[in-house]
């Protein structure tokens, strides 16, 4: 099985694509085409690099000092089956997964009625950053997202409770006085 990526190699050591130090896998292909997107080169479904998933797994094996891996793009949900195979491997390595998508969580749940692979992928994701980038709602003070309409969703809790549970990111420990 092959996946179309915007870059033939994982980008290690990111501190802006999710919590901790992460490697990023940039998928190729996106129909959202959000005005002001930071990755417009990832929109085409014909560009990028067609990479064997086994090669991606080898790159994951070679990573050092990474807390997790982030799926970005493009939109990973346009290559859901390929992303599932990679995500299963990431989980076998005891790493967490963040995923960026232009779809809202609610839309993904609706789409999953016709494509159950979407739920299968969601079950492997720890945090989903959902929603299209909106340049009118751009906010550079937000952590891990570009516009205020986008949410950090705790996927396991949301699936368990049947409603959206936001991810509680607290970079600083609370110290009782």
For 4-20, the pLDDT digits (tens) are 999 999 999 999 999 99
d(Cα 48, Cα 97) in Å, to the nearest integer?
22
Per-residue pLDDT reduced to its tens digit, 45-71: 999 999 999 999 999 999 999 999 999
3-state secondary structure of 109: helix
pLDDT score recorded for residue 66: 96
Tell me which residues of the chain have a pLDDT lower than 70: 171-177
Task: Look at residues 169, 173, 133, 135 and name the one whose alpha carbon lies nearest to residue 152.
Answer: 169
User: Which CA distances in Å does 92 have to 68, 85, 86, 174, 177?
Assistant: 12, 11, 10, 31, 40
**d(C-alpha 51, C-alpha 102), whole Å:** 23
Structure tokens at 162: 């049947």
pLDDT (0 to 100) of residue 176? 62
pTM over 0.75: yes
Confidence at residue 37, expressed as pLDDT on a 0 to 100 scale: 86
What's the DSSP call for residue 94? T
What is the per-residue pLDDT for 169?
Answer: 80
């Amino acid at each position: 099985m092959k996946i179309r990526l915007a870059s033939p190699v994982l980008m290690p050591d990111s501190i802006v694509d999710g919590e901790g130090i992460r490697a990023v896998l940039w998928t190729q292909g996106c129909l959202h085409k959000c005005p002001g997107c930071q990755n417009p080169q990832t929109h085409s479904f014909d560009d990028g690099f067609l990479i064997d998933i086994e090669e991606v797994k080898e790159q994951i094996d070679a990573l050092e000092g990474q807390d997790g891996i982030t799926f970005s793009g493009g939109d990973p949900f346009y290559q859901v089956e390929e992303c599932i195979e990679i995500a299963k491997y990431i989980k076998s390595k005891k790493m967490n997964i963040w995923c960026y998508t232009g779809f809202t969580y609610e839309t993904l749940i609706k789409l999953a009625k016709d494509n159950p692979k979407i739920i299968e992928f969601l079950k492997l994701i720890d945090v989903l950053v959902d929603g299209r980038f909106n340049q009118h709602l751009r906010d550079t003070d937000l952590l891990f997202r570009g516009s205020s309409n986008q949410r950090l969703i705790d996927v396991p809790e949301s699936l368990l409770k049947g409603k959206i549970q936001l991810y509680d990111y607290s970079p600083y420990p609370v110290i009782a006085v």
